[in-house]
Chains A and B, each alone.
Chain A
Amino acid sequence: AQKITQTQPGMFVQEKEAVTLDCTYDTSDPSYGLFWYKQPSSGEMIFLIYQGSYDQQNATEGRYSLNFQKARKSANLVISASQLGDSAMYFCAMREGLVNSGGYQKVTFGTGTKLQVIP
C-alpha cells in the first residue's frame, strides 16, 4: 500500500481563489509528522507547513493551512488567495516514528500535484 497518496496529478485555480490539494496517508505508528513542500520548476523543494500527529490544532503558515483529519488519515493543504507564483509541484510527505528515538525515521513523499494558477 502507498504510504502517501496524492490523487490529483494536476489542478487549476483562478488567481485569488482558494485551492485544496489532497493528501491521504497510511501508517500504524501513533507518532508521525506530516509535511507539505512546494517545488517550482527550478527544482528546489521549499518547506511550507508541518503537522504533528499529536497536534490538537490544524497548522497554519500565512496563506497555507493544513486540514488535518486524523481519523480519516488525511492532511489536505489549503492555499488561500492563490497567486501566480504558487504555480508549482506540491508534495505531501510523512515521517513515521518518534523523533530522537535514535536512528532514522523514514520520510516518504507522495507523487505530487501540479498546481497551475490562471490569471
Chain B
Amino acid sequence: DTGVSQDPRHKITKRGQNVTFRCDPISEHNRLYWYRQTLGQGPEFLTYFQNEAQLEKSRLLSDRFSAERPKGSFSTLEIQRTEQGDSAMYLCASSSGDRGQGETQYFGPGTRLLVL
C-alpha cells in the first residue's frame, strides 16, 4: 500500500506528558500537511511543508506544538505538556502540488489522541 500512513493510530496520555506522531506521505509527494479534527468539525489546518521547509503555520499551533520534516520525506508532530484540550484526531495529508487534480490532498488514517 503506497498511501499516507500515520503512527500511532491511537494514543492515550496523561496531562503534562509529551507525545510525538509520525506521518509518512505518498513517496512522490513533496507537500505535507497536518490538520486537527475535533468531534463534529471538519479538519482544521495546523501546518504545511514543501519538501523539508515549513512554509506555513496556523495560529492554532501554539508554542507547545512543533513539527518537522527533516529530509523532506516523513514528518513528526510533537505536542509538549499536553492539555485535555489537545484531545482530537490529528490528520496528515500529502499532495504533489501539480496543478489540477494533483493539488488534491490525500489523507492518512489519523492519530486519535486522548489526554486524561
Interface residues of A (CB under 8 A from B): 4, 33, 35, 37, 42-47, 50, 52, 91, 93, 95, 99-100, 103-112
Q: In whole angstroms, how far apart are the Cα atoms of A107 and B89 in the complex?
A: 18
Query: Is A103 in contact with B101, judged by CB distance below 8 angstroms?
Result: no
Smallest Cβ distance from A111 to chain B, in angstroms?
A: 6
Q: A99 contacts which chain B residues (CB < 8 A)?
A: 97-100, 102-103
Q: What are 12 contact pairs spanning A and B, CB under 8 A? A: A35-B104, A44-B109, A50-B103, A95-B103, A99-B100, A99-B103, A104-B48, A106-B45, A108-B45, A109-B44, A111-B40, A111-B41
Chain B interface, number of residues (Cβ within 8 angstroms): 29
A37 partner residues in chain B, CB cutoff 8 A: 107
Docked complex Cα distance between A108 and B110 (Å): 18
Find the B residue at minimum CB distance from A37.
B107
B100 cross-chain contacts in A, Cβ below 8 A: 50, 52, 99
Beta-carbon nearest neighbor of A93 in chain B: B42
Which chain B residues (44-88) contact chain A, with CB distance < 8 Å?
A: 44-45, 48, 50, 55-56
The distance from the CB of A14 to the nearest CB of chain B, in whole angstroms, is 26
The 8 Å CB contact of A112, one of B42, B89, B106, is B42
Residue B43, interface by CB 8 Å: yes
Please state if B109 and A42 are interface contacts (CB–CB under 8 Å): yes
Q: Which of A37, A46, A95 is most buried by chain B, counting CB atoms within 10 A of its CB?
A: A37
Asked if B23 is at the interface (CB within 8 A of a chain A CB), the reply is no
Nearest CB in chain B to that of A44: its residue: B109
- Which chain B residues lie closer than 8 Å to A35 at the CB level? 104-105
A35 to B107, CA, bound (A): 13
Contact A100 B106 (CB under 8 A): no
A35 smallest CB distance to B (angstroms): 6
CB-based contact B112/A43 at 8 Å: yes
A95 to B99, CA, bound (A): 12
Q: Specify which chain B residues have a CB less than 8 angstroms from the CB of A91 in the assembled complex.
A: 42-43
- Take A43-B109, A109-B43 as given contacts and tell me if A104 and B103 are in contact as well, using a CB distance cutoff of 8 Å: no
Q: Is the CB of B107 within 8 A of A45?
A: yes
B25 to chain A, nearest CB (A): 14
Expressed in whole angstroms, the minimum distance between the Cβ of A71 and any Cβ of chain B is 22
